[in-house]
Amino acid sequence: MHIVVLAKVVPDYEVPASDFELADSRAHKRYKRMMGLYDENAIESGVQLKEKYSSTLTIVSYGNKDDIPVLRKAVAMGCDKLLLVTGSSDDASVIAANLKMALDSLGDVDLVLAGQQSADMDRGLVHGMLAEKLGFVFIPQIAGIEYLDGQWKVTQNTETGIRELECREKAVLSITSVPENVPRIPAVRSIFAAKKKAVDILPAIEDKAMPVDEVSVEIPKMESVCEFLPAEDDIAETAKILLRRLREERYI
């Protein structure tokens, strides 16, 4: 069994709004680069499947060579191989076309995992597009995966609860976060070993971008109006003031 996990390196997603700035409509280059959070959930899910079914696990990414050191974290977590397509488009369809090209080059992929949403674009489109381009089934928001009697048995977290689904075909699954796929912290030894691992690099292919123009990107103003209530000595008084203020302003 050959499992592929799609991973994307992004600017630090924990930078607070007050420190966040743009340059050319994208996050300023000064922010630290890191693996997307849901992508790490997907890698963790992939590593667990590898451990359970002795599968081969390949990380595929589309992006910049400078981010290879960050991608190596996936190897340290337990992936066998890294494959990077070098390119810089943010267009979901272009990214999906390039990922398809990379998967075609691998040839024998049975299952593709991806994060539910990237930690910079907030959109959750690339994996579903890739699935359609590959002719695979796409199922979003997956929290658990098993392979039984020749089919994938997956659990999906919906807005209202949990579903169990079965699928016989090759699939692209987007992975949501649950306590069971909180990413492991790789051992120092694995981190060093990962540094020596070769990375396969493919140049990007040309593909038409979607007929959508990005007109502008702006940072909305967040106005700080917080009224701090005194909470040092008399906490009972603080509680009373809070309730009074909420009533005065007719919130409750």
Partner 1 sequence: MKTLIIEMIEPKRLGELVTVSREFCEKPDIVAVGSGQIPGSFAKAYQVEDTVASNLISDLASLILKEGYEIILLSASTLGSGIAAPLSIKLSAPVVSEVIGIKPELVVERPLYGGKAVATYKLKKMPAVLTIRRKYFEAADLQGFTESKLLGSDGKKVELITEREEKAEGIPLEDAEVIVSGGRGIGGAENFPILQTLADLFNGAVGASRGAVDEGWAKPTQQVGQTGKIVAPGVYFAVGISGASQHLAGIANAKCVVAINKDEEANIFKRARFGVVSDYKKIVPVLIETLKEEG
Ligand X SMILES: Cc1cc2nc3c(=O)[nH]c(=O)nc-3n(C[C@H](O)[C@H](O)[C@H](O)COP(=O)(O)OP(=O)(O)OC[C@H]3O[C@@H](n4cnc5c(N)ncnc54)[C@H](O)[C@@H]3O)c2cc1C
User: Sign of the C-alpha dihedral, residues 231, 236, 240, 243?
Assistant: positive
Please give the helix or strand (H or E) that residue 83 lies within, else none. strand 81-86
Q: What angle do CA 163, 60, 94 make, to 5 degrees?
A: 90
- 175 scored as a contact of ligand X (CB under 6 A): no
Residue 13 or 147 with smaller CB distance to ligand X: 13
By CB under 6 A, the residues from 15 to 34 that bind ligand X are none
Q: How far is the CB of 177 from ligand X (least distance, A)?
A: 8
- Assess 70 for contact with ligand X (CB under 6 A): no
* Closer residue to ligand X in complex, CB, 38/62: 38
- Min dist. Cβ of residue 38 to ligand X (A): 6
Q: Whose Cβ is closer to ligand X: residue 37's or residue 101's?
A: 37
Region of 136 (left: φ > 0; alpha: ψ -120 to 50; beta: rest) is beta
Q: How far is CA 59 from the centre of its chain?
A: 13
Q: How far apart are CA 161 and CA 81, in angstroms?
A: 35
**Using CB under 6 A, which of 37, 101, 137, 178 touches ligand X?**
37
In our burial notation (b when 16+ CB lie closer than 10 A, e otherwise), range 15-29 reads eeeeeeeeeeeebee
117 in contact with ligand X (CB under 6 A): yes
Q: Using the minimum distance from each CB to ligand X, give the nearer residue, 16 or 203.
A: 16
* Phi/psi of residue 228, nearest 5 degrees: -80, 130
Cα separation, 209 vs 193, in Å, equals: 38
Out of 1, 2, 12, 13, point to the residue binding ligand X (CB under 6 A): 13
58 binds, among ligand X, partner 1, none (CB under 5 to 8 A by kind): none
Q: Does 7 bind ligand X (CB under 6 A)?
A: no
Q: Cβ closer to ligand X: 14 or 66?
A: 14
* Residues 56-69 as b or e (16 or more Cβ within 10 Å = b): bbbbbbbbeeebbe
Residue 187: CB minimum distance to partner 1, A = 21
Give me the residues that bind ligand X (CB under 6 A), please.
13-14, 37-38, 117, 119
